[in-house]
Amino acid sequence: MNTKFVVCCLFFFIVPPADCDANPFSLDKTANLFSSFMSIFSRTFRQSARIWSRDSSNFTVPTGVEEEVENISESCLTFEEHKKLANDTKNDADQLDRVLDFNKDLLRAATEIIGFTELRAVLGFSPPGPWTNSDEITYVVPANATIEEYYNAREPRHKNGILRYSLEDKQVTSAVKFLDKRFPVVRVAYKKSYKHNWNGKKKIDRKIVDDMLDLYDAVYDSIDLRTDYLTSRYKTEECKPKKDSKTKKSKT
C-alpha cells in the first residue's frame, strides 16, 4: 500500500498536468490547468481506490495486442488530419495548438466509447447511450439489481472523469468513425482482450463485470498513451503529408 502511494505521488510529480505553454486558446489558463489536473487526478484516484478495495483480477491484455497498439505511435497524423478531426476551420496562428489540445480530449472520449461499446457487446448488454459529459457515480448498487444494472452502475467509475472540453455526441461519434477508419487496431485491441479473458461460457457475475472493467482500463491506458503522443506538437510537426493524399489531388 505504501509503495502504491509513493508511486502515485511520483506520478503526479513526473507527469505535468498540461502543456503549460501550448494553450493560447484558453483565456483562463489557470482554470484549464486545474481541470486538466483534476481529470488525471480523478481517474488515477478512482483506479487506485478500486485496486485497493478488492482482490486484483488475473485478466490481462494479451501480449500480441500490446504489440499491435504500438502501430498507433508508429503512425502519425498530419496537421491537415488533425484539423479535419477537430472540425476546426478557423485558420489562424493558434490553430495548431488549439486543434491538438482539443483532439487530445476528443480521442480520449472516442477511445472510451469504443471500449465500452465492445465490452457491452461481449457481455450481451445494450450499447452505450449518447455521449454525455456527466460525471455521476453510483456508490451503492442494490443487492437485487440485475447484472446489467450492476454494470451500468459501475461503468461510470471507469470513465475519463472531467475532460477539459464539453463534447457533443456528434463530435464523439465522428471521432469514433475516424479511429475505426484510421486506427482499426483500437477496436480490435479491446475486442481481442475481452475475448481472451472471458469466453462467454461462464455465467456473468459481479466479479467478472469488475474484472472486465479493470481490463477495459488496462486496454484504455495502453491506447491513450499512444494517441496522446499523436497529439503532441513535436509528433505532428514531424509528420509529413502522404504523397497520395486527397488534399494534393483537390488542387485542380
Grid cell of 222 as nine digits: 495502453
Q: Does 75 bind ligand NAG (CB under 6 A)?
A: yes
CB of 197 within 8 A of CB of 123?
no
CB of 12 to ligand NAG, least distance (A): 32
Our CB check for ligand NAG shows the closer of 8 and 147 to be 147
Q: According to CB under 6 A, which residues from 89 to 118 bind ligand NAG?
A: none
48 near ligand NAG (CB under 6 A): no
Residue 197 CB, shortest distance to ligand NAG, in Å, is 5
Please list, residue by residue across 199-226, b when 16 or more beta carbons sit within 10 angstroms of its beta carbon and e when fewer do.
Answer: eeeeebeeebbbbbbbbbbbbbebbbeb
- Site for ligand NAG (CB under 6 A): which residue of 171, 222, 227, 231? 171
CA nearest neighbour of 226 among 181, 194, 179 = 179
Q: In whole angstroms, what is the distance from residue 183 CA to residue 70 CA? A: 11
Task: Please state the closest distance from residue 152 (CB atom) to ligand NAG, in A.
Answer: 12
Q: Report DSSP letters for 82-111, one per residue.
A: HHHHHT----STTHHHHHHHHHHHHHHHHH
Interface residue with ligand NAG among 139, 142, 203, 249 (CB under 6 A) is: 142
Q: Judged by CB under 6 A, which of 42, 47, 71, 95 binds ligand NAG?
A: 71
Which residues here bind ligand NAG, judged by CB under 6 A?
58, 71, 74-75, 87, 142, 144, 170-171, 174, 184, 197
